[in-house]
């Protein structure tokens, strides 16, 4: 089975991941196997359920042997209690790209949660002053900011899922080195992909190695993205407002990668990790002017706050 680099570790997989880089000779962190049928489980308790779209839902179950993610389309993924072994049973509509997205998204996020990490749904870039993360709902520009900072001299840590080792000290773990852009952001950066269907994102993954971060890095700040209100100072392209510890922790829980699924008995563990993280890493509300007209100024402001770029600016 081939080995791939992802989330700072090595995934040995029974299925191929063309979007991931081959892993050098190193200890295997996770092993993904395929099984013809789902193994029987005991002591099952449903933690949460989420509607992905009109025709697909996913359910997370904790049982005596670990966790099970059951998708209506791609099948079931059993994650061992220590998070190191993943067993996939094919579902009725298991398209290859959908299966890979499930594995690199919620499945590995569940494995990381089992191992004690806190996974944010967000993007992150490494700068000279440490790694900064952007979290927000869809259409708020997480990926756009991450790509703009990377082009300004930063190193892309991840897009979509950011695992954090609570530490101490808290560290950002590198994730999938690709950026997903909606049409307007793709046009801004001159990204052209003719095979992208309506409603799908453009994928940017042709980064040089010196544009990427492959190691763990100190997490220096987390930004909750928001649009500046009508009373904002027009001379400021962006301003940040630091949140207190409790609002910070609650915000982190809301933006946890599998937070909607981690209810029940797992909710206290998720909240405890969020509280521990918020006590050490500052969480800000980042208010930016709407649109792309002043994007360069926003990037300059972020660089002023977090030091010079992590590499030579192209």
Same domain, 111 and 123: no
Mean pLDDT (whole number) for 282-288: 95
Same domain, 291 and 258: yes
pLDDT in tens, 167-202: 889 999 998 888 877 667 777 777 765 555 555 667
Same domain, 123 and 109: no
pLDDT in tens, 87-120: 999 999 899 989 999 999 999 999 999 999 999 9
Residue 61 has pLDDT above 60, yes or no: yes
Q: Which helix (H) or strand (E) holds 120?
A: strand 118-127
Q: Is residue 65 part of a domain?
A: yes
Q: Which of 115, 146, 177 is the last residue of a domain?
A: 115
Same domain, 28 and 59: yes
Same domain, 165 and 60: no
Same domain, 278 and 147: yes
Same domain, 158 and 282: yes
Same domain, 128 and 110: no
How many whole angstroms separate alpha carbon 107 and alpha carbon 260?
14
Q: Is residue 218 part of a domain?
A: yes
Same domain, 28 and 61: yes
Q: Which of 115, 135, 160 is the last residue of a domain?
A: 115
Same domain, 104 and 49: yes
Q: Is residue 16 part of a domain?
A: yes
How high does pLDDT run on average in the chain? Answer: 89
Q: Give rounded-to-5 percent helix, strand, coil for the chain.
A: 25, 35, 40
Q: Which of 115, 136, 166 is the last residue of a domain?
A: 115
Q: How confident is the model at residue 314 (pLDDT cuts 50, 70, 90)?
A: very low
Nearest to 160 by CA among 96, 82, 102: 102
Same domain, 265 and 223: yes
Q: Is residue 312 part of a domain?
A: no
Q: Is 54 left (phi over 0), alpha (psi -120 to 50) or beta?
A: alpha
Alpha helices in 238-313 (DSSP H): 245-254, 267-280, 295-306
Q: Is residue 311 part of a domain?
A: no
Total domains present in the chain:
2
How many whole angstroms separate alpha carbon 187 and alpha carbon 257?
27
Query: What is the four-CA torsion angle of 40, 43, 47, 51, rounded to 10 degrees?
Result: 30
Q: Is residue 313 part of a domain?
A: no
State the residue range of the domain holding 11: 3-115
- What CATH number is given to the structural domain containing 192? 3.40.50
pLDDT in tens, 126-154: 999 899 999 988 778 888 899 999 999 99
Q: Is residue 267 part of a domain?
A: yes
Same domain, 103 and 123: no
């Amino acid at each position: 089975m081939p080995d791939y680099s992802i989330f700072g570790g090595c995934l040995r997989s029974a299925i191929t991941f063309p979007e991931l880089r081959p892993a050098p000779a190193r200890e295997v962190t996770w092993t993904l196997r395929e099984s013809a049928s789902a193994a029987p489980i005991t002591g099952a308790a449903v933690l949460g359920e989420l509607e992905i779209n009109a025709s697909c839902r996913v359910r997370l179950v904790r049982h005596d042997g670990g966790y099970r993610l059951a998708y209506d389309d791609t099948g079931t993924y059993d994650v061992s209690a220590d998070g190191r072994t993943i067993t996939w049973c094919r579902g009725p509509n298991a398209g290859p790209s959908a299966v890979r997205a499930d594995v690199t998204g919620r499945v590995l996020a569940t494995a990381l949660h089992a191992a004690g990490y806190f996974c944010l749904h967000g993007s992150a870039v490494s700068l000279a002053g440490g790694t900064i993360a952007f979290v927000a709902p869809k259409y708020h520009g997480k990926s756009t900011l991450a790509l703009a900072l990377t082009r300004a001299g930063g190193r892309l840590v991840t897009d979509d899922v950011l695992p954090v080792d609570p530490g101490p000290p808290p560290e950002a773990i590198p994730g999938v080195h690709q950026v997903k852009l909606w049409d307007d952001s793709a046009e801004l950066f001159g990204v052209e992909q003719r095979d992208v269907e309506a409603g799908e994102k453009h994928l940017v993954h042709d980064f040089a190695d010196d544009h990427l971060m492959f190691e763990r890095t100190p997490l220096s700040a987390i930004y909750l993205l928001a649009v500046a209100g009508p009373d904002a100072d027009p001379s400021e392209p962006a301003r940040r407002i630091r949140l207190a510890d409790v609002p910070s922790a609650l915000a982190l829980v809301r933006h946890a990668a599998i937070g909607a699924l981690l209810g029940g008995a797992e909710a206290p563990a998720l909240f405890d990790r969020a509280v521990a993280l918020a006590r050490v890493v500052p969480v800000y509300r980042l208010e930016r002017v709407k649109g792309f007209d002043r994007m360069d100024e926003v990037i300059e402001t972020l660089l002023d706050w977090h030091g010079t770029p992590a590499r030579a600016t192209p």
